[in-house]
């Protein structure tokens, strides 16, 4: 009987630890490390970004006004009105160019100015002003009534 109680306690401890760790991972606030801008293109380096497509899109919708106010993004092109914002997982931070396919920021005047290309969300628009979200599992569009629908065949 005592061995059974110890096993139950051990399982409960493991389950509780798992729940606490998972909650901590899911509830960490997104941290914006830096915003690099080039005309109407913006690269936002982030940590703790939501894991799901829905979570990523909802994060944008909840924070777009603050991003505009604090970072001036999106920054639409004067001639076409188009913009593109790519949110990159900052991961292990800046690295040297060394590898072939890293994204580098030449305005940073140092050797360690590149990141791994791990885009977590792209927010963009077209000439008509429709907003699109490109995420891991597809592309979504904001309709005129505010509904968000998955773009078929993308």
The residue extents of the domains of the chain are: 29-150
Hey, CA dihedral for 124, 71, 57, 85, is it positive or negative? positive
The separation between CA 151 and the C-alpha centre of its own chain, rounded to angstroms, equals: 19
Give the mean pLDDT of the chain.
86
Q: Taking the CA atoms of 134, 135, 136 and 140 in sequence, report the sign of the dihedral they define.
A: negative
What is the greatest pairwise CA distance in the chain?
77
Fill in the DSSP letter of residue 60. Answer: H
What tens digit of pLDDT does each residue of 68-96 get?
Answer: 999 999 999 999 999 999 999 998 899 99
The pTM (predicted TM-score) of the whole model is: 0.81
Name, in order, each residue with C-beta under 8 angstroms of 55's C-beta and a sequence gap of 6 or more.
none
């Amino acid at each position: 009987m005592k061995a059974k109680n110890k096993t139950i306690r051990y399982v409960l401890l493991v389950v509780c630890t798992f729940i606490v760790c998972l909650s901590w991972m899911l509830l960490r606030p997104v941290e914006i490390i830096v915003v690099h801008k080039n005309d109407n293109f913006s690269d936002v380096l982030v940590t703790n970004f939501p894991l799901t497509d829905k979570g990523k899109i909802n994060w944008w919708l909840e924070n777009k006004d603050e991003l505009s106010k604090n970072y001036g993004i999106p920054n639409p092109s004067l001639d076409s009105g188009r913009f593109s914002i790519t949110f990159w997982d900052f991961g292990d931070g800046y690295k040297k160019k060394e590898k072939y396919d890293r994204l580098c920021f030449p305005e940073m005047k140092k050797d360690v100015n590149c990141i791994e290309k791990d885009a977590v969300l792209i927010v963009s628009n077209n000439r008509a002003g429709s907003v699109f979200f490109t995420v891991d599992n597809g592309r979504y569009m904001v309709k005129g009534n505010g509904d968000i629908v998955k773009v078929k065949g993308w």
